[in-house]
Structure 1
């Protein structure tokens, strides 16, 4: 497998992850209820939009490199429990950081591609940082989590 084929294959894995983020964060924004809806619904929707923006960037880069962008996504994690939604979000962002770090390793020697990936990686790391901070003092949310019995 040539280096271009290897980076395209990995970027397609990143793209599938971003498509998953669009669905998972959108679902979280729809499902969050009660007083926490005011606090979190827009945050989840903004994360869905960020994933979509990353998907557009990565999809276009795949085509520029001579590949065909993936049109599938991975399985999303769904729950009505706010604590779990926040934890899933942290795990999702952490996985994105891991994936873009691997893409950076594969892009070594291609400065433009490295800068492109570093910009996305920076936003993904900001997501990790934000969800880490939200979960740090999450006792308030765990006692007020969304009741899954109302579904």
Structure 2
């Protein structure tokens, strides 16, 4: 199996995870007011999950003979809680999309498929959680409209 396409795409996943570390950490720093106690811990936990995924993906890239990237994508920053939650849902949805593609590229290597499925399941849990948090809000409605037009 030619692992280079998988390595290249996993490096894109890794960039996304590095972005999650920064974006979720920043959200935990910026959240203020009565919701700080509720959400600051949630965002730090999400940053830690992104860091865990980054470590696992980086190790796998190295094991496959690649060099893990150290760059990240641009982070979205805001003090508005609804916007932070919307950005979080978009981030998790993008991760699901990216790991789904990685799974397609890994077809034929069962161990790699299982590795990616485990991360994909955690990313889907994030989508589910942010979907529930946003349900019934204007932010959720704008995300739904955006995904339907894509």
Mark yes or no: TM-score above 0.5: yes
Q: 2:43 corresponds to which residue?
A: 44
RMSD: 1.0
Q: 1:54 corresponds to which residue?
A: 53
- Radius of gyration: which is bigger? 1
Q: Secondary structure at the match of 1:74?
A: coil
- Any gaps of 5 or more consecutive residues in structure 2? 139-150
Q: 1:91 corresponds to which residue?
A: 90
Number of aligned residue pairs: 138
Asked if 2 retains the 8 angstrom alpha-carbon contact of 1:3 and 1:106, the reply is no
Q: 1:76 corresponds to which residue?
A: 75
Asked if 2 retains the 8 angstrom alpha-carbon contact of 1:62 and 1:69, the reply is yes
- Any gaps of 5 or more consecutive residues in structure 1? 140-151
Off by >2 Å, runs of 4+ in structure 1: none
Map of 1:110-121 to 2, 5 A cutoff? 110-121=109-120
Map of 1:106-145 to 2, 5 A cutoff? 106-138=105-137
2: CA distance, partners of 1:44 / 1:91: 14
Query: What's the TM-score once normalised by structure 1's chain length?
Result: 0.89
